[in-house]
Amino acid sequence: MEKTKLKTESPPVFVINALNSAGVCMKKIIKDGKKLTFEINRKEKPAAIQTMEKRNISYSILSERGIKTDARRLLMRVGMWAGIIIGLALIFLYSASLLRIRVIGNNRVDEAKILEAAGVNPPILFASPDLDKIEKRLVALEGVSGASVVRKGTTLEITVLEELPDTEIIDTKTPAPLVAAEDCVITRIVATQGTAVVKAGDTVKKGDILIAAYITDSEGNQVPVRAMGEADGMVYYQRHAFYSHRMIAKVRTGAKEEKTVMEIPGLSYQKPSSFVSYDTETKVILCSNILPFKLIKTTYYETREQETDFNYEALRLRLIEENLEMLKASVPKGGRFVNWWYLEKRLDKNTILSIYYQMERAVAVRP
């Protein structure tokens, strides 16, 4: 409903009766002091104005409301239209751009090689890569038997079908012994072909022969064979860490500076800090779900080196745990965990922490 709100300071009864007799329907008639405000239907506005001008009633239009009026008012808003146009342009730009590549199905072929062969480096504005050519380049890659390239929105999805690995041919004829892979104490040895030269409980070094490549016939002659069998051994891994009672630590000087950067996928530009030595704290200020932008604020705290006391006793449990984790990470995979322990040797100026990790594992390998 289109409505017009008017104001007049003429005698209210005169105005109401004049408009009423002219057939104008009035609404929300309010008298406030000398002022009279009322609303009329927009269709009746010409008749109302004509009546008021004919009767010398002074009036002013306060506001006009309604779908058409509001739409007309919106049409006049340049800023809003500029915003809509910019928004549409950004959406078009975003949808026409290629922002990332996703590679699926590669286990042995390096992703970097696939991306290099694809020859597309996002982000690219108004990208329309030739998908057939990319597929052909990928199929020509060593280790790739098939490839499909599909564009999904702003992402280029590359699905790779890899060639089957070469069949491993196991030599069972050529005479060769089995040797120890690591320093260990043998716990079990079974020779299915060849002659076991060590027994359970023996200590061996890495490279020592466990199953020799011969068998002895009934006449005492050594007949060359390819040694085959299994051997398990108790292996001990160790790690030593030295902790001085004085240490150089980085402490904050109190000076800091903040830098804010807009991060766009594919474009990572970090403003350098003016400090020589610093700590950083990073915080994401703005993150949009629609557009791939992030506003990141990085705070740089200037630091300097300072010699301080190192309290080993206060940190020992954490240090033991950290060293154990590092030792476990360096241990080859496979085998059965048996035990772990640690030793601490406290000296005048430092402390030596030794971690030991015991495992039982297969140790027989071909030299």
Q: How far apart are CA 196 and CA 205, in angstroms?
A: 15
Q: How far apart are CA 169 and CA 39, in angstroms?
A: 97
Q: How far apart are CA 277 and CA 305, in angstroms?
A: 9
Residue 75 makes contact with other proteins by CB under 8 A: no
For the CA atoms of the chain, what is the radius of gyration? 42
Query: Which of 11, 83 has the CB closer to other proteins?
Result: 11
**List 1, 7, 27, 117, residue binding other proteins (CB under 8 A):** 27
Q: Given the rule CB under 8 A, which of 2-10, 27-35, 255-263, 281-289 is the region that contacts other proteins?
A: 27-35
Residue 136 makes contact with other proteins by CB under 8 A: no
φ and ψ at 220, to 5 degrees?
A: 90, 5
Residue 218 makes contact with other proteins by CB under 8 A: no
Residue 242 CB partners (closer than 8 Å, separation 6+): 350, 351, 352, 353
CA-closest candidate to residue 328, choices 239, 235, 204, 233: 239
**List 16, 47, 324, 338, residue binding other proteins (CB under 8 A):** 16
**List 2, 26, 155, 273, residue binding other proteins (CB under 8 A):** 26
Residue 247 makes contact with other proteins by CB under 8 A: no
Q: Given the rule CB under 8 A, which of 18-26, 54-62, 228-236, 263-271 is the region that contacts other proteins?
A: 18-26
Residue 47 makes contact with other proteins by CB under 8 A: no
Nearest distance from residue 7's CB to other proteins, in Å?
14
Residue 121 CB partners (closer than 8 Å, separation 6+): 266
Nearest distance from residue 20's CB to other proteins, in Å?
6
For residue 139, give the 3-state DSSP assignment. helix
For the CA atoms of 184, 190, 192, 198, what is the dihedral angle to 10 degrees? Answer: 50
CA-closest candidate to residue 340, choices 202, 233, 238: 238
Nearest distance from residue 14's CB to other proteins, in Å?
9
Q: Given the rule CB under 8 A, which of 13-21, 230-238, 276-284, 287-295 is the region that contacts other proteins?
A: 13-21
**List 23, 87, 146, 207, residue binding other proteins (CB under 8 A):** 23
Residue 62 makes contact with other proteins by CB under 8 A: no
Q: Are 137 and 119 in contact (CB under 8 A)?
A: yes
**What tokens were used for 332?**
């080859």
Buried b (16+ CB within 10 A) or exposed e, 15-47: bbebbeeeebebeeeeeeeeebebbbbbebbee
Q: Give how far Cα 49 sits from Cα of 42, 60, 66, 148, 242, Å.
A: 11, 10, 19, 73, 98
Residue 29 makes contact with other proteins by CB under 8 A: yes
Nearest distance from residue 64's CB to other proteins, in Å?
19
Residue 221 makes contact with other proteins by CB under 8 A: no
Residue 43 makes contact with other proteins by CB under 8 A: no
Q: Given the rule CB under 8 A, which of 21-29, 85-93, 121-129, 177-185 is the region that contacts other proteins?
A: 21-29
Q: How far apart are CA 351 and CA 345, in angstroms?
A: 6
Q: Given the rule CB under 8 A, which of 14-22, 95-103, 178-186, 238-246 is the region that contacts other proteins?
A: 14-22
Q: List the x/- string, 146-185, binding to other proteins by CB under 8 A.
A: ----------------------------------------
**What tokens were used for 220?**
């005492």
Contact footprint for other proteins (CB under 8 A): 12-13, 16-17, 20-21, 23, 25-31, 38
